[in-house]
Amino acid sequence: MQIRHLSVCIAATCLTFSLWAQEKSINDTLHHAVVSDSYKRSLLKRNATASELLEKDFLDRHLSGNIVQALENIPGVQSMDIGSSFSKPMIRGQGFSRIAVAENGVKQEGQQWGADHGLEIDSYNISSIEVLKGPASLLYGSDAMGGVIEIHKPEFPSKKGIYGEAVLTGKSVNGSLGTSLMLGYSSDKWMVQGRYTELHFGDLHVPTDTVVYMTVLVPLEGRKMKNTAGYERDASVFASYRNGGYKATLSVSNAYQKSGFFPGAHGIPDASRLHDDGSSYNIELPYSWVDHVKISSGHQYTWDSNILTADLGYQYNHREEWSAFHTHYPGQDMPSTDPDKELAFMLHTGSGTLRLRHFHSAILEESIGVSAQCQWNAAGGYSFLMPDYRRQTAGAFWLATWKPTPRMSVTGGLRYDWGHIDIKSHIDNNLGDYLIQQGYSAEEAAKYKVVSTATNRHFGDFSASAGIVWNPAGEHLFKLNIGRSFHLPGANELAINGVHHGTFRHEQGDPGLDSEHGWQFDALADLKWGRIELEFSPFFSRYSNYIFLDPTGKWSPLPHSGQIYRYTGTAARFWGGEVELHVSIWKNLKYNFSGDYVNTFNETSRTALSFSPPPTMRNILAWEGERWGAEAELQSIATQKRIAHNEDITPGATLLHLGGHMSFRKTGIELSIAIRNLLNTKYYNHLSFYRKVEIPEPGRNLSITLRKTF
């Protein structure tokens, strides 16, 4: 049954997704893998929206956590952490399924709507990564309303023959130890490389002895968060072939993550479940694991003044949460197999894009394309959260770029998308009986036992954008972009009706929700005078229908839950911007400043939207020599007073970080050392999953990475 659905999906889809990737391939053939400042600038000039590129050198030296945490070095990008090992990205205050992460031209599909789900990507398997901070629905469809994080495909290495990399890494804050090994072979026409990564980590250390949650004092014995240990195991193979005007890539990857849940944040806090069990590396119930398989293939054929690209992808995200069998209502029998499997999500995604680029002349090019995606989600476990559903989207787009002078380019485009979602109903009769027994009316019991409402909806919406990139003189760069984007409501926003144990709230979907849509403006000015570079990128967006969880003030009849929160559309505004200043002080000594600000506003509640990132500033003094480098960073996080209903004000903090790296020429080994939070400051992250349990961020963390490339 599953297989049949799947093949139908794949067959129907036969078209992938990445647009950018292809656009880049052109640039890549022109520039090869020459990683230089001018290359970086030429990449950034391509998009009329504010964008940033992080290259391998930078990532290698700043990977003291995971890849999302490394992205936080880009102003305007935030990391929403679940402990210290797993994170999900946020761009200018938008996260979850409102931003897209694409790898090898395929948009990553997991359970990104969920608060305690991280990004299932091997952090070591990334050569360079580009972040688009503005609307990108035009290129990526529905989910790229808030921006895109694109992980570039590996390039043909400059060296022919065998090449590889071995990485050994350790972190003190959770006793993590990891290794990543890559081996590849390349010739003129072929390259193939494989990578294996394994990381183990123990319970997370936090700089506090107790946390207060729901007025209950929860002790943290040994300043450790019990049962937050875990491990990660990733394997991937990438192959690329080029011959004349044809280029193809194939990528197969698997990411597996398993980690325990802090029992104090899983249900009502209870000190008796938090006694030190003597081991820092054991994973006991409750825990979760996720297995992500992804296969993608890209093809590009260039002839005359045309480039035809096709990208295909299939991925399977399988997540399970295990917790000793429990039920809040009598009557439910313990399952005979896997009695402790609380929740399972099995999400299949097939996707494809076909695009033709035609160059009319040196100054005008046009692209047309179609893309489609097909998803199929199945749920399991003795508890219920996310329904079974099927979702199909398809879009057609047109883009044009006009370059009246070599210093100016004007781009514009239109796209229309169709979406269909079919959500299965789910009825919990035990819950119905329980409610009757508790004295609720038959009518109420009938209403609340429907934990997922059958929903069958069709959507259609358009995206558009127009932008200009202008390089008036020298290296100054200006960008201006206006775009309309949209986002289809998720299955949870439409259909669910029950307590989400990750947020501990009774969340209710609305099957009548419309798609989210809005207009976004963004601009960028990048000015360079000799040793000084100043970049300023403001943005403003307004959504006429932005879905948020609205506290209804109506009490839920379900046990252990307060009021009902309903997914509701509201008009909302976002504005803010980033500032960067780079100064070459003397020889290799550099001073970098960056700051970001996001203001979110819900026009209905007249408050901020939830998870509004606090203003942050970074002052960095760095020495970048040929063989060694060192940097000191002062990170200042402002107090976040602008909160949504039922969020807490998060006090600000000032943190000191140190880092250094050195390469040993003879051996080809590079050593990187970083100390995050040197002063062991106790602080909270407004965007952390553990924030509402009042668990502070990790304390001082020494990380050491040894890397040998050959």
Partner 1 sequence: MAFVAMSLTAISCSKDDGDTTKPSINLSTPAHDQVLKIGDPAGVLLEMDLSDDVMLGSYKLEVHSNADHHEHSLKSEGNTDFSFHKEYDISGNKSIHISHNDIVIPAGVTEGEYHLMVYCTDAAGNETQVARDIILRN
Select 175 or 562, whichever has its Cβ closest to partner 1: 562
Does 538 sit near partner 1 (CB under 8 A)? yes
Select 173 or 524, whichever has its Cβ closest to partner 1: 524
Spatial distance between the Cα atoms of 486 and 460, rounded to a whole number of angstroms: 10
In the three-class reduction of DSSP (H, G, I as helix; E, B as strand; rest coil), residue 624 is classed as strand
CB of 441 to partner 1, least distance (A): 14
Write out the binding residues for partner 1, residues 266-285 only, by CB under 8 A: 267-270, 272-273
Binding partner 1 (rule: CB under 8 A), the pick from 644, 653, 655, 675 is 644
Determine if residue 682 is left, alpha or beta; phi over 0 gives left, psi from -120 to 50 gives alpha, anything else beta. Answer: beta
C-alpha distances in Å from residue 14, one per residue of 60, 154, 415, 432, 521:
36, 23, 19, 44, 34
Interaction pattern, residues 579-608, with partner 1; x per rule: CB under 8 A: --------------------x-xx--xxxx
The torsion of the CA quartet 374, 380, 384, 387, rounded to 10 degrees, works out to 20
CB of 552 to partner 1, least distance (A): 7
Longest dimension (CA), the chain: 79
Phi/psi for 204 (5° steps) reads -80, 135
CB of 263 to partner 1, least distance (A): 9
Select 418 or 440, whichever has its Cβ closest to partner 1: 440
Do residues 426 and 465 make contact, with C-beta atoms less than 8 angstroms apart?
no
Please report, as a single letter, which amino acid is at residue 468: I
CB of 540 to partner 1, least distance (A): 5
CA-closest candidate to residue 657, choices 65, 45, 227, 6: 65
At how many degrees (to 10) do helices 37-46 and 20-31 cross? Answer: 150
Select 314 or 611, whichever has its Cβ closest to partner 1: 611
Select 257 or 481, whichever has its Cβ closest to partner 1: 481
Interaction pattern, residues 23-52, with partner 1; x per rule: CB under 8 A: ------------------------------
Select 72 or 510, whichever has its Cβ closest to partner 1: 510
Binding partner 1 (rule: CB under 8 A), the pick from 216, 363, 364, 532 is 216
Do residues 385 and 51 make contact, with C-beta atoms less than 8 angstroms apart?
no
Interaction pattern, residues 386-425, with partner 1; x per rule: CB under 8 A: ----------------------------------------
C-alpha distances in Å from residue 141, one per residue of 40, 370, 378, 505:
26, 10, 23, 30
The residue range among 58-66, 287-295, 368-376, 556-564 that interacts with partner 1, by the rule CB under 8 A, is 556-564
Spatial distance between the Cα atoms of 525 and 534, rounded to a whole number of angstroms: 8
Does 436 sit near partner 1 (CB under 8 A)? no
Select 209 or 333, whichever has its Cβ closest to partner 1: 333
Binding partner 1 (rule: CB under 8 A), the pick from 34, 162, 214, 364 is 214
Please give the helix or strand (H or E) that residue 20 lies within, else none. Answer: helix 20-31
Does 523 sit near partner 1 (CB under 8 A)? yes
Select 71 or 564, whichever has its Cβ closest to partner 1: 564
Spatial distance between the Cα atoms of 491 and 510, rounded to a whole number of angstroms: 10
Please give the helix or strand (H or E) that residue 183 lies within, else none. Answer: strand 176-186
CB of 248 to partner 1, least distance (A): 42
Select 161 or 553, whichever has its Cβ closest to partner 1: 553
Select 113 or 521, whichever has its Cβ closest to partner 1: 521
Select 151 or 445, whichever has its Cβ closest to partner 1: 445
CB of 5 to partner 1, least distance (A): 35
Q: How far is CA 297 from the centre of its chain?
A: 22
Write out the binding residues for partner 1, residues 458-487 only, by CB under 8 A: 480
Spatial distance between the Cα atoms of 250 and 61, rounded to a whole number of angstroms: 28
Binding partner 1 (rule: CB under 8 A), the pick from 103, 510, 535, 647 is 647
Select 40 or 692, whichever has its Cβ closest to partner 1: 692
Interaction pattern, residues 224-263, with partner 1; x per rule: CB under 8 A: ----------------------------------------
Do residues 431 and 451 make contact, with C-beta atoms less than 8 angstroms apart?
yes
Binding partner 1 (rule: CB under 8 A), the pick from 40, 233, 341, 645 is 645
C-alpha distances in Å from residue 481, one per residue of 16, 149, 312:
26, 18, 29
C-alpha distances in Å from residue 393, one per residue of 13, 15, 140, 369, 489:
9, 12, 11, 14, 12
Binding partner 1 (rule: CB under 8 A), the pick from 185, 416, 540, 628 is 540
CB of 670 to partner 1, least distance (A): 43
Based on DSSP, count helices (H) and strands (E) in the chain, helices before strands: 9, 37
What is the 8-class DSSP label of residue 9? H
Does 536 sit near partner 1 (CB under 8 A)? no
Spatial distance between the Cα atoms of 411 and 547, rounded to a whole number of angstroms: 30
Select 480 or 662, whichever has its Cβ closest to partner 1: 480
CB of 74 to partner 1, least distance (A): 22
Select 175 or 267, whichever has its Cβ closest to partner 1: 267
CA-closest candidate to residue 538, choices 520, 553, 556: 520
Spatial distance between the Cα atoms of 147 and 13, rounded to a whole number of angstroms: 24
Site size toward partner 1, by CB under 8 A: 52
Does 563 sit near partner 1 (CB under 8 A)? yes
CB of 479 to partner 1, least distance (A): 11
Concatenated DSSP letters of 234-302: EEEEEEEEEETTEEEEEEEEEEEEEEEPPGGGSSS--GGG-S--S-SS---SSEEEEEEEEEEEEEEEE
Spatial distance between the Cα atoms of 418 and 391, rounded to a whole number of angstroms: 11
The residue range among 143-151, 551-559, 652-660, 696-704 that interacts with partner 1, by the rule CB under 8 A, is 551-559
CB of 273 to partner 1, least distance (A): 6
CB of 270 to partner 1, least distance (A): 5
What is the 8-class DSSP label of residue 424? -
Write out the binding residues for partner 1, residues 170-209 only, by CB under 8 A: none
In the three-class reduction of DSSP (H, G, I as helix; E, B as strand; rest coil), residue 639 is classed as coil
Binding partner 1 (rule: CB under 8 A), the pick from 552, 570, 592, 619 is 552
Select 132 or 608, whichever has its Cβ closest to partner 1: 608
Q: Which tokens is 109 given? A: 């599909």
CB of 390 to partner 1, least distance (A): 33
Phi/psi for 366 (5° steps) reads -130, 150
Select 234 or 510, whichever has its Cβ closest to partner 1: 510
Interaction pattern, residues 323-352, with partner 1; x per rule: CB under 8 A: -xxxxxxxxxxx------------------
Binding partner 1 (rule: CB under 8 A), the pick from 223, 258, 341, 542 is 542
Select 151 or 687, whichever has its Cβ closest to partner 1: 687
Q: Which tokens is 579 given? A: 């500032």
Which residues are at the interface with partner 1 (CB under 8 A)? Answer: 214-216, 267-270, 272-273, 324-334, 438, 480, 521, 523, 538, 540, 542, 550-553, 555, 557, 559-560, 562-563, 573, 575, 599, 601-602, 605-608, 642-647
